[in-house]
Amino acid sequence: MMHLLSISDLTHKELQELLDLSSELKEQRGQEMDALRNMSLAMIFEKPSTRTRVSFEVAMTELGGHALYLNYDDLQLGRSETICDTARVLSRYIHAITARVYSHETVSELARCADVPVINALSDVEHPCQLLADLLTIREYKGDFKGLRIAWIGDGNNVCNSLMLAAAITGMTLSIASPAGYEPDPDIQSQARELGCDLTITHDPVEAASGADVLYTDVWVSMGDETEEEKRLRDFAGFQIDGNLLCHAKSDCIVLHCLPAHRGQEITGEVLDGTQSVVLDQAENRLHVQKALLMMAMERI
Ligand code: CP
Ligand code: NVA
């Protein structure tokens, strides 16, 4: 049974197959499909979501299946039923579980106890579904991954952790510029390097962005970090993707942001809404990759 807790749960071959299937499904969108007929997906959310929730739900609908949005506080989980009992009971009704959680332990425990595939829809440690969409977007604009230079500017957070592993699997060179104290998880840095990632960690955004094919950023205050907001806004000053930083990248560099964005903080409105930004394609691709992921996880390909 396939769980997706980390992007590194996929081999290079599985990742390529998933992206190929995603492209096919993207082309075929609008045709009637029933690959997931009679299949149901439970979607547990401890945190808010726009893209993840809607794209998973639409993916299930368009493939002939059904998705159930389960707000954590509306479940008995919120009244201290155990994660394990929840996983075992849900496994008697449905065919896969996605969960967006504060603590990665929660999604790991769901996977340990469930008899169906469990997909991490964002935890404090990783956001693998986001990376699937990012990789499809990069492949659409740049072709092959090998040799591409990608720069991450800002917080070494959950998305950045998954990016390190994705870069390792696909052979992209990755440079990360974060303020001191906000570097990505050291264990995941080591894991990415062991997987062969050409990884540089710096405190200089210009150094990271120089010669980049792809610039990527995310919010300075992730869900769960709200109590640190004031300090973070101070600490991240200078780590914004703006027109000047973009000039250090290659002239055909594309700009990614997983969204939601805060114009004027991690990125200027001019860049986010500018000609090099591909953030709407990136957001759309969540739908196509998750269709492919669900078909693979539910063994319907
Ligand atoms: N990028 C992303 O996961 O967006 P949502 O928080 O809206 O799901
Ligand atoms: N790093 C952000 C990603 C949101 C999609 C967060 O965890 O809030």
The per-residue pLDDT for range 190-237, each reduced to its tens digit, is 999 999 999 999 999 999 999 999 999 999 999 999 999 999 999 999
- Percent share of the chain, pLDDT over 70: 100
Could you tell me the pLDDT band of residue 162, with boundaries at 50, 70 and 90? very high
**Alpha carbons 82 and 144: distance in angstroms, whole number:** 44
Same CATH topology for 7-127+286-297 and 130-282: the answer is yes
Class of domain 130-282: alpha beta
Q: Please report the pLDDT score of residue 78 as a whole number.
A: 85
Smallest-distance ligand from the CA of 262: 2
Write the pLDDT tens digit of every residue in 60-91.
999 999 999 999 989 999 899 999 999 999 99
CATH of region 7-127+286-297: 3.40.50.1370
Could you tell me the pLDDT band of residue 2, with boundaries at 50, 70 and 90? confident
Mean of the per-residue pLDDT values of the chain: 97
> Which residue in 155, 185, 213, 218 is the catalytic one?
218
Q: Please report the pLDDT score of residue 1 as a whole number.
A: 65
Of ligand 1's listed atoms, the one at least distance from the Cα of 53 is: 8
Active site residue 100: yes
Q: Please report the pLDDT score of residue 301 as a whole number.
A: 87
> CB of 2 closer than 6 A to ligand 2?
no
Q: Please report the pLDDT score of residue 149 as a whole number.
A: 98
pTM across the whole model: 0.98
Give the residue whose CA is nearest to atom 6 of ligand 1.
49
Of ligand 2's listed atoms, the one at least distance from the Cα of 130 is: 5
Q: Which residues of 234-264 are buried (b: 16+ CB within 10 A; e: fewer)?
A: ebbeebbbeeebbebbeeebbbbbbbebeee
CB-CB contact of 116 with 1 (8 Å): yes
- Residue 284 Cα to ligand 1 midpoint, Å, equals 11
Of ligand 1's listed atoms, the one at least distance from the Cα of 121 is: 3
Domain ranges for the chain: 7-127+286-297, 130-282
Write the pLDDT tens digit of every residue in 34-66.
999 999 999 999 999 999 999 999 999 999 999
Q: Please report the pLDDT score of residue 54 as a whole number.
A: 98
Of ligand 1's listed atoms, the one at least distance from the Cα of 258 is: 1
Active site residue 300: no
Q: Please report the pLDDT score of residue 18 as a whole number.
A: 97
**Alpha carbons 15 and 133: distance in angstroms, whole number:** 11
Mean pLDDT of 134-163: 97
The token duo for 34 is 């029933």
Q: Which of 258, 272, 284, 293 to mutate to test the pocket of ligand 1 (most atoms within 8 A of CB)?
A: 258
> Which residue in 51, 95, 130, 134 is the catalytic one?
130
CB-CB contact of 91 with 115 (8 Å): yes
* 24 pLDDT higher than 90: yes
The token duo for 71 is 């707000």
> CB of 223 closer than 6 A to ligand 2?
yes
The token duo for 59 is 């993916």
